[in-house]
Structure 1
Amino acid sequence: MSASPQPTPGALLMGDAFNMRHPLTGGGMTVALSNIVVLRDLLKPLRNLHDASALCRYLESLYTLRKPVASTINTLAGALYKVFCASPDPGRKEMQQACFDYLSLGGVFSNGPIALLSGLNPRPLSLVLHLFAVAIYGVGRLLIPFTSPKRMWIGARLISVNAFPFPFLGASGIIFPIIKAEGVRQMFFPALEITLLSN
């Protein structure tokens, strides 16, 4: 669930209090601690915390500067939930197995997703790349060494947006609606958002 700022004098919401994410990843505390670091850095130059108008200007930036970490963890939690929720669909089961097999490759294939999950790599583009890498890995598993029309169909559905009879199963259908809800500009271009706020 993406966050929308509701400024209330005297109150500041962080972590799960500000916006909830699926508990599958346990990312609420990571986001809260990241928010605290951003807030600390924002408030360092402010000498008087009793100046409400100056404080509000600084806090407006918090909602944008927190986005890379928060939205990456939110998007990852939402995507993993969609992949691992119960479903009779064989394509969903393939995507789940592709996730496990991708992580078991080790190296960058496990370090990258773990860095995203832990908040050490707050780059949303890295999340998108890993999700599509998992989907492409899953397609490869289906097509090699022997393929069939059914396996080709499931493979196409692992990447597509709207695959009948289970829409939004593929990587595109999972990640793009979540990114849209989080805010493309805020997620991928937070500096641009701050520039727009300051004008």
Structure 2
Amino acid sequence: MRHPLTGGGMTVAFNDVVLLSTLLSPERIPNLGDTAKITSAMKEFHWKRKGLSSIINILAQALYALFAANDKQLKALQKGCFAYFQRGGNCIDGPVGLLAGIIRQPFVLFYHFFAVALLSIWIVMQNTMGSILGIWKFPLAVEQSALIFWKACVVIFPFIFKILPGMGER
């Protein structure tokens, strides 16, 4: 799952090279003709690389879904994402650290993604209820907020369950 939006493919490729060079090093496998050891190293590579690449892939796909917004809830999440990035500090450092492969903790991805979702909901609530008649629009704002949160879950959870180690079959 590489996408030009994030450029994470090279980061994953470099991580793969480092991991493979470690797993196939002469100290571990002195003879590359040893099929059993090579097979074992490749199985280990398959599962270890998922831990290195899954966060980058999930974030890239989730960002693509937001930036290719084709419905009202995705557009609200997109607006929230831009507002989140404009806050600077950890709101930029965290996502960039995830994309760069520096931060490899799935919880950090989860945190930032749902922080964007909650900020999106906050923006919708403010925009919907910002006028004098806002109190009458409260039920509409609650409904829109629930739909935005649901859409955020629909965007991120399929990628998490499909990609993260231990979530699929081994």
TM-score of the alignment, normalized to the shorter chain, above 0.5: yes
Structure 1 segments unaligned to the other structure (5+ residues): 1-19, 161-169, 188-192
User: Are 2:19 and 1:38 equivalent residues in the alignment?
Assistant: yes
Query: Contact 2:19/2:45 (CA < 8 Å) preserved in 1?
Result: yes
Question: Residue 102 of structure 1 corresponds to which residue in structure 2?
Answer: 84
Question: Residue 122 of structure 1 corresponds to which residue in structure 2?
Answer: 104
TM-score (norm 1): 0.73
- 1:29-178 alignment, distance < 5 Å: 29-44=10-25, 45-87=28-70, 89-144=71-126, 146=130, 148=137, 149-160=139-150, 170-178=151-159
Instruction: Measure how far apart 1:103 and its partner are.
Output: 0.9
Q: For 2:64 and 2:113, locate their aligned partners in 1 and report how far apart those are by CA, in whole Å.
A: 13
Amino acid at match of 1:158: I
Q: Is the partner of 2:166 in helix, strand or coil?
A: helix
CA-atom RMSD in angstroms: 2.1
What percentage of aligned pairs have identical amino acids?
A: 38
Deviations along 1:30-76, one digit per CA (max 9) or x if unpaired, are 11111111112222322222222211111110001111221111111
Runs of 4+ in 1 over 6 A off after TM superposition: none
Give the structure, 1 or 2, with the largest relative contact order (CA under 8 Å, sep 6 or more). Answer: 2
Instruction: Measure how far apart 1:86 and its partner are.
Output: 4.1
Q: Is the partner of 1:24 in helix, strand or coil?
A: coil
Query: Contact 1:142/1:152 (CA < 8 Å) preserved in 2?
Result: no
Structure 2 segments unaligned to the other structure (5+ residues): none
TM-score (norm 2): 0.84
Question: Residue 7 of structure 1 corresponds to which residue in structure 2?
Answer: none
- 1:18-33 alignment, distance < 5 Å: 20-33=1-14
Q: For 2:165 and 2:143, locate their aligned partners in 1 and report how far apart those are by CA, in whole Å.
A: 30
Give the helix-richer structure, 1 or 2. Answer: 2
Q: For 1:69 and 1:139, locate their aligned partners in 2 and report how far apart those are by CA, in whole Å.
A: 31
